[in-house]
Amino acid sequence: MISIFPSLLNGAVISLQLLLTSMFFGLIIGLIFAILRINKNPIINKFAYGYSYFFRGTPLLVQLYLIYYGLANIEFLRNSFFWVIIKEPYWCAIIAFSLNTGAYTSEILRSAFQTIKKGYIEAAQSLGVTKKITFYRIQLPIAIKQSLPAYGNEIILMLKGTSLASVITIMDLMGEARKVNVLTFKPFEAFITAGIIYLFLTFVIHNIIKYLEKKYGFQT
Amino acid sequence: MELLSFGDTGWGDELFFATLMTIAVSIAAMAIGFIFALIFTPLKLSKNKTLNIIGNCYTTIIRGVPELLVIYLLFFGGTGAAMYVASIFGYDGYIEINAFITGALAIGIISGAYSTEVFRGAILSIDKGQFEASKVLGIKKYIQFYKIILPQMLRLSIPNLSNVWQITLKDTSLISVTGLVEIMRQSYIAAGSTRDPLFFYSVAAVLYLILTFLSMKLINKLEIKYSKGY
């Protein structure tokens, strides 16, 4: 069990890299789509809803396969400079995970935006604060604070999601565990050790979010 | 479109049966999850410390590790474990556990952890007076559970169970890695033999969307039906 630990830890580093990168892009995508969702224009609104409906209604594995195997099928993508990105399984995984977590994040942020008390915005308006500043200084900070607990859950779900990267040949924690299992025929040791590392990571993330909630949490 | 035709030339009938397989695995997993949830919910609510820890361990561990890990563990470890148990009883042959059973069991264990949390929340939100009233009337503990708590618990948990159902439905796509021919596996086969992955994975995505959409409608109807009178 000790001998397989280093290779699993290497895998865990890859898993964390995947998680952090896709959470970063996912947050940006989620924020953009949350703003589109609360837009009053029905076409923009429907577009953003369709995006989140698709990515929340289909399994992550389908999205991953669509991007990894499917995009390579399109002729002009293969000839364009995008090919540098989508020929790498690592970037395909990041694209799929970012789009997936972006959809969930947009829903979390949208509901946070919609539960902001109207009084805050009215107060800002009556003080003559411009719309832009109201958004950046009042709505956005409140929405981020309110969505912290739900976003913490999303990070943990995404950590579990990164294990799917192993099916498109990335040697993340899950991939390393599979390799150990194939080499040693000891499924219990390989997968239970990997499971303990995953649990540890979940535990750490959970506590960081709890700390942030306590420090910056928003009490209404 | 001819790729989707029924019969020997197209993949329509294969994909149709794969969809049925996905539905069957999801329902089986959900049912197994219910059994797990009905065992572990009382443990989580129990006043006994040891039982409490067992219940908490189940939900925490299962919700903290990737679904794929549980599936691999059962798929690769299950055969070995079954053969070991059989060897104690004097059977030394090779045992292969059916992919459907392993898959349904793995997803069932996962959905059971989520259902446990849902049931726990539902029981906690039942008015305390209900428990007290049945106690005052001298109703036995298990009758109290079956006749008073269980029906209310199920009604209260319908909205959250619909989320669990959606998660379960999507998780079944992961069973494809063990070789069970459901939507995901079938599109993988079709994509491989026609060299058109974009089309077949899109079809798979649409099939999943249809399934989630239809089940949402159905559950909404159930919810309206059972919240009549409240």
B77 touches chain A (CB under 8 A): yes
What's the rounded mean pLDDT across residues B176-182? 88
B192 touches chain A (CB under 8 A): no
| Mean of pLDDT over chain B | 89
Is the CB of A62 less than 8 angstroms away from the CB of B173?
yes
The reported pLDDT for the residue numbered A219 is: 59
Helical (H) or strand (E) element with B58: helix B49-64
Q: What residues of A are in contact with residue B184 (Cβ under 8 Å)?
A: 59, 61-62, 65
Helical (H) or strand (E) element with B53: helix B49-64
**Interface A:B, Cβ pairs < 8 A:** 113
B194 touches chain A (CB under 8 A): no
pLDDT tens-digit readout, B28-81: 999 999 999 999 998 998 889 999 999 999 999 999 999 999 999 998 888 878
Distance CA(B33)–CA(B114), nearest Å, equals 8
Q: Is A7 exposed, middle or buried (0-12, 13-18, 19+ CB in 10 A)?
A: middle
What's the rounded mean pLDDT across residues A18-28? 96
Is the CB of A163 less than 8 angstroms away from the CB of B68?
yes
Distance CA(B118)–CA(B161), nearest Å, equals 7
Is the CB of A59 less than 8 angstroms away from the CB of B77?
no
**Looking at chain A, which residue has its C-alpha nearest residue B71?**
A191
What is the phi-psi region of residue A185: left when phi exceeds 0, alpha when psi lies from -120 to 50, beta otherwise? left
A31 touches chain B (CB under 8 A): no
Domains of chain B: 14-226 (1.10.3720.10)
Give the predicted TM-score (pTM) of the model: 0.90
Most B CBs within 10 A among A18, A60, A61, hence the mutation to make, goes to: A61
Q: Are B162 and B115 in contact (CB under 8 A)?
A: no
Distance CA(A39)–CA(A55), nearest Å, equals 20
Interface predicted TM-score (ipTM) of this complex, two decimals:
0.88
The reported pLDDT for the residue numbered B77 is: 84
User: Over 80: is that where the pLDDT of B201 sits?
Assistant: yes
Outline where chain A has alpha helix (H). 5-37, 42-57, 60-65, 75-79, 83-86, 89-114, 118-126, 131-133, 140-146, 148-161, 173-184, 187-216
Q: What residues of B are in contact with residue A182 (Cβ under 8 Å)?
A: none
CATH class held by domain A5-216: mainly alpha
Q: What residues of B are in contact with residue A156 (Cβ under 8 Å)?
A: 64
Is the CB of A188 less than 8 angstroms away from the CB of B73?
yes
Residues of chain A with pLDDT > 70, as a percent, come to 98
pLDDT tens-digit readout, B118-165: 999 999 988 888 888 988 998 888 888 888 888 888 888 988 999 999
pLDDT tens-digit readout, A162-210: 999 999 989 999 999 999 988 988 888 889 999 999 999 999 999 999 8
